[in-house]
């Protein structure tokens, strides 16, 4: 006879609850990140400035991105 903790239904209920909690956390995080991205795309925001600079001088932006990537890769 199975005890209450090893009962398959109890284990399944706990696992289902954990998955639902994780799904809610992912949903909230996704909404938060999407909101931050939308805010930074507004005129004067960080992404708006990066987009503008990249359009004005794409080769310089590419060179900076390459150098930053190289520095980050060297540290690891």
User: What are the residue ranges of helices labelled H in 7-57?
Assistant: 8-41, 46-56
Please check whether residues 28 and 49 belong to one and the same domain. Answer: no
User: How many structural domains comprise the chain?
Assistant: 2
Within this chain, do residues 56 and 70 fall inside the same structural domain, yes or no? yes
Q: What is the pLDDT of residue 8?
A: 79
Q: Are residues 11 and 38 in the same domain?
A: yes
In a domain, 18, yes or no: yes
Residue 37 lies in a domain: yes
**Based on the domain organization, do 15 and 27 belong to the same domain?**
yes
Contact predicate 48/42, CB 8 Å = yes
Answer yes or no: are the C-beta atoms of 38 and 32 closer than 8 Å.
no
At 54, the pLDDT band (50, 70, 90 cuts) reads very high
Range of the structural domain that residue 67 is part of: 45-75
At residue 3, does pLDDT exceed 70?
no
Query: What is the pTM for the complete model shown?
Result: 0.54
Indicate whether 1 belongs to any domain.
no
């Amino acid at each position: 006879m199975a005890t209450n903790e090893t009962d398959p239904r109890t284990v399944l209920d706990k696992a289902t609850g954990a998955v639902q909690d994780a799904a809610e956390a992912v949903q909230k995080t996704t909404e938060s990140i999407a909101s931050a991205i939308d805010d930074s795309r507004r005129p004067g925001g960080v992404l708006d400035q990066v987009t503008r600079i990249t359009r004005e001088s794409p080769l310089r932006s590419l060179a900076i991105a390459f150098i930053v990537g190289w520095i980050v890769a060297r540290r690891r």
